[in-house]
């Protein structure tokens, strides 16, 4: 399988006693670590990477060691399944599955998103129009619950309630230690077609037709996403697997993927480079660090052109208030961080874009269609209804007299006025009653009381809105 190596170990065998025994030792270690945490201190999972954007300092939280829970245990090419530890990154997982001509059903855009994080939070990518969200291809989860037990949850059986409530629970019901997931076959290359639109309504209509038909011009479509650059410049990118390619583009060095969308109608990538096409420049957010300038980019080692490096730089900026200090020194307006992903029904997508362009004005905006296969109680999108994820990430100057949260609250209101939903990986401003109505507190609390009766873990509101 073509593609660049990453230095990750590649699993090429089915489950073995040593690998499973090592996993069991890691489970016992984290279980013991959990039991030893100080009473009354909410645990905070200690892992090497994060893709959350809630920067409030954790008060009274104790670190929970997740040592040795970041490996692929096995890949079975016959059943097309993988046994994966919860803290395993998708980069490691993809490196283990591609040699078999397989990939996870949905591979979120950034290399250091973990499988457990994508399932307990929400992940999405260009296969989501057909395959839904990452948790919809999970067959089994081993979970450390809030009351200190380790249980195995499946779609049916004793812990089916936990299995159903785990997506969008963000570690407030427990932590995924091991997951068994289904895998999908791949081909070595992906052929891309970039379709330009000058009208948002026509773009949304075309996206709906492509996704519902599953083909374009008589050929099967394997991937669909898009980019909004301006009200009169939108693109849908359609990807199709291919056995051969006349050439392949490289967007891990000087060339920048999102800029290529505007410049060429057709492109070819290896399947691995396609899966990570957004990671090199963190979509387009790397421009904030100057690394899209040719001179700067030529001096930056390739190994630093990746999302986790940028995320660490953002963390340092927040910690030391570098941008805020520079803005004050230059007498610039105070800026609000607007980092969100929202899901809007496709038929209301053009309305959301019109609102967002008028009230916020940030560009580009990522557009990714998705369709949930089933009803999931804590993120109650209507099953088999096509939504579009709009992703936007950056800073916006606040109007005079307004305070932090102004834009984000406008967005929250617009999203729910348009029958949409908002992911909770970043800042949220909902009042408590509104939050539990939108995120189905009636379904959440019975499961919370069953698996964390003493409230050892934060509840979903305290973690995602209050940021305790």
Domains of the chain: 18-185 (3.30.465.10), 321-429 (3.30.70)
pLDDT for the residue 1: 38
Q: How many CB atoms lie within 10 A of CB 355?
A: 18
The answer to whether the CB of 434 falls within 8 A of the CB of 362 is no
The answer to whether the CB of 108 falls within 8 A of the CB of 125 is yes
Rounded to 5°, angle at Cα 318 from 314 and 324: 110
Over residues 395-404, mean pLDDT: 92
Q: Which of 107, 83, 63, 78 is nearest to 23 (CA)?
A: 83
Q: Where is average pLDDT lowest: 103-117, 210-224, 285-299, 325-339?
A: 325-339
User: For residue 50, what pLDDT band results from cuts at 50, 70 and 90?
Assistant: low
Q: Cα–Cα distance between 409 and 415 in angstroms, integer?
A: 10
Q: How far is CA 116 from CA 12, 175, 267, 340, 407, in A?
A: 22, 8, 32, 20, 30
pLDDT for the residue 318: 73
Q: How far is CA 210 from the centre of its chain?
A: 23
DSSP string, 31-54: HHHHHTSPTT--EEEE-S----B-
Q: Where is average pLDDT lowest: 37-46, 144-153, 187-196?
A: 37-46
339 bridge partner residues:
393
Cα dihedral 390/270/219/104 (nearest 10): -60
Burial of 334 (0-12, 13-18, 19+ CB in 10 A): middle
Q: Cα–Cα distance between 52 and 308 in angstroms, integer?
A: 11
Kindly state the tokens that stand for 318. Answer: 């927040």
Q: Are strands 365-370 and 387-397 parallel, antiparallel or unpaired?
A: antiparallel
Those residues with Cβ within 8 angstroms of residue 413's Cβ, 6 or more apart along the chain or in another chain = none
Q: Cα–Cα distance between 124 and 423 in angstroms, integer?
A: 11
Burial of 331 (0-12, 13-18, 19+ CB in 10 A): exposed
pTM of the full structure: 0.92
Q: Cα–Cα distance between 177 and 175 in angstroms, integer?
A: 6
Over residues 227-250, mean pLDDT: 98
Q: Which of 282, 261, 265, 268 is nearest to 391 (CA)?
A: 282
Q: Cα–Cα distance between 211 and 368 in angstroms, integer?
A: 11
How far from each other are the two terminal CA atoms of the chain, in whole angstroms?
A: 45
- Per-residue pLDDT reduced to its tens digit, 297-336: 999 999 999 998 988 888 787 777 777 677 678 777 889 9
Q: Cα–Cα distance between 36 and 122 in angstroms, integer?
A: 30
Residue 15 has pLDDT above 70, yes or no: no
User: For residue 166, what pLDDT band results from cuts at 50, 70 and 90?
Assistant: very high
pLDDT for the residue 39: 81
Q: Are strands 62-65 and 43-46 parallel, antiparallel or unpaired?
A: parallel
Q: Cα–Cα distance between 25 and 47 in angstroms, integer?
A: 17
Q: What share of the chain is helix, strand, coil (3-state, %, to 5)?
A: 35, 25, 40
pLDDT for the residue 10: 45
pLDDT for the residue 60: 56
User: For residue 144, what pLDDT band results from cuts at 50, 70 and 90?
Assistant: very high
């Amino acid at each position: 399988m073509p593609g660049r190596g990453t230095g990750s170990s590649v699993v090429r065998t089915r489950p073995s006693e040593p690998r499973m025994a090592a996993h069991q030792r890691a489970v016992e270690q984290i279980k013991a670590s959990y039991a030893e945490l100080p009473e009354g201190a909410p645990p905070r999972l200690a892992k090497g990477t994060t893709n959350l954007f809630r920067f409030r300092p954790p008060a009274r939280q104790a670190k929970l060691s997740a040592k040795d829970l970041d490996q692929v245990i096995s890949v079975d090419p016959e059943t097309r399944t993988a046994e994966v530890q919860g803290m395993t990154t998708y980069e490691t997982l993809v490196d283990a599955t591609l040699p078999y001509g397989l990939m996870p059903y949905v591979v979120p855009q950034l290399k250091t998103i973990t499988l457990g994080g994508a399932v307990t939070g929400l992940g999405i990518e260009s296969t989501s129009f057909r395959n839904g969200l990452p948790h919809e291809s999970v067959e089994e989860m081993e979970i450390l619950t809030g009351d200190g037990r380790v249980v195995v949850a499946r779609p049916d059986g004793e812990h089916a309630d936990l299995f159903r409530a785990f997506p969008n629970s963000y570690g407030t019901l427990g932590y995924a230690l091991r997951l068994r997931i289904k895998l999908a076959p791949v081909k070595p290359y992906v052929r891309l077609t970039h379709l330009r639109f000058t009208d948002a309504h026509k773009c949304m209509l075309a996206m709906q037709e492509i996704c519902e038909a599953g083909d374009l011009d008589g050929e099967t479509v394997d991937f669909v996403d898009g980019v909004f650059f301006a009200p009169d410049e939108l693109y849908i990118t359609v990807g199709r697997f291919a056995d051969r390619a006349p050439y392949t583009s490289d967007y891990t060095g000087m060339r920048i993927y999102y800029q290529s969308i505007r410049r060429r109608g057709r492109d070819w990538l290896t399947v691995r480079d396609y899966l990570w096409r957004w990671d090199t420049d963190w979509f387009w957010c790397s421009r904030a660090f100057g690394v899209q300038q040719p001179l700067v980019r030529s001096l930056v080692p390739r190994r630093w052109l990746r999302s986790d490096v940028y995320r660490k730089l953002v963390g340092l900026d927040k910690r030391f208030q570098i941008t805020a200090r520079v803005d004050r020194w230059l007498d610039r307006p105070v800026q609000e961080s607007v980092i969100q992903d929202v899901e809007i029904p496709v038929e209301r997508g053009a309305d959301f874009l019109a609102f967002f362009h008028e009230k916020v004005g940030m560009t580009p905006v990522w557009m990714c269609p998705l369709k949930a296969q089933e009803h999931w109680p804590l993120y109650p999108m209507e099953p088999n209804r096509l939504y579009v994820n709009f992703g936007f990430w950056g800073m916006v100057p606040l109007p005079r007299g307004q305070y932090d949260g102004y834009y984000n609250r406008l967005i929250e209101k617009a999203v729910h006025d348009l029958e949409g939903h908002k992911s909770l990986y970043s800042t949220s401003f909902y009042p408590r009653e509104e939050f539990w109505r939108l995120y189905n507190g009636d379904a959440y609390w019975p499961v919370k009381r069953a698996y964390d009766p003493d409230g050892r873990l934060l509840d979903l509101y305290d973690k995602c809105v209050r940021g305790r």
